[in-house]
Amino acid sequence: MPVRKVGKNCYQWGNQKVYCGTDAKRKAILQGIAIENTGWKEAENEIDVKTNHYSFVLPAEFDENNEAFYLVSGYLLISTDKEGKWRVWDLDKGEWRGWNWIDSPFYKAYQKKYPLTPPHYFQFDTLQDAEKHTSKVALTRLKNVIKWIEGDEDSLHGSDIALSLISKGKRSALRMKMDSKEKEMARHPNRSQRWIPDRLRKELSNELRKQMVCPTCGEAVFPSLLAAQRHHFYCEKYGKQPSNYLFMTPLELLMFDFVKTKKEAESFQTPIIFISGIALLLGMALPYFLDSRADKV
């Protein structure tokens, strides 16, 4: 898979980490080579949603008898519904990602075959269609985040992107910060229940510019605030990210504990080896010291 440009001086291989700045393209290419050598394939990261290492909250529409779940970019989950159709669930935003989005690769083709109403515009005929749509969603979101980071802090477009990075719960909490004048404005018949005043959107945008940046490694490009928080946690605790960008598998945790134990053992052995070496040198030098004293006597 070729490396693609996703922003000003920013490059990405597949749906993996975005590199920006000096040598960004070279770093993305090297990552792609390393991943391809391991046999990895994009959008085919099958996971076990019954794992005890991550608390999955899945919508009832998914087929409970189907254990085939595929994770893309750490937050987009693909599986079949009870009608046997494939769907894409956004774990971070808690909503479906359907082909009714105008930039979807299947917007025109599916519109000719199916009504532009739910649940039809949430359903895909094949896993391949769902994967292609999901890759487009993930790439577009990262491009928007990069534009937001590089753009004007006071732009309304930037605040719109900032709103797309938070969950429904955080959005509801944001609405509770409206003052009396803004609450009156919210009652206007042309405004939906999701409306948020410009003041709060700009405040959110400025807050997120700080919260998204990883305090450990400095990475700032993430598809959502929750994704950023996950990255911060794993970066600080483990110094690396899960292979699926969502949770550590039992094998990964086992490997981490093994490496940690090995490093601790090596660091513990180092002073012992040093002291043993000093003792050995003293033992070898002591006879010469005693001989020299005897000669003087």
Residue 66 CA to residue 127 CA, distance in Å, equals 13
Region at 52 (left for phi over 0; alpha for psi -120 to 50; beta for the rest): alpha
Domain ranges of the chain: 1-41
Q: What is the dihedral of CA 26, 28, 29, 35, to 10 degrees?
A: 150
d(CA 52, CA 170) in angstroms, rounded, equals 26
Residue-wise pLDDT tens digits, 234-286: 999 999 888 888 888 878 888 888 777 777 676 665 565 556 656 555 565 55
CA 288 – CA 56 distance, rounded (Å)? 72
Listed as ranges, residues in the chain with pLDDT below 70 are: 1-2, 15, 33-44, 50-55, 152-157, 264, 266-297
For the question of whether the overall pTM of this predicted structure is more than 0.85, the answer is no
- What pLDDT does 297 receive? 43
136 vs 130: CA distance, rounded Å: 10
Res 117: pLDDT: 96
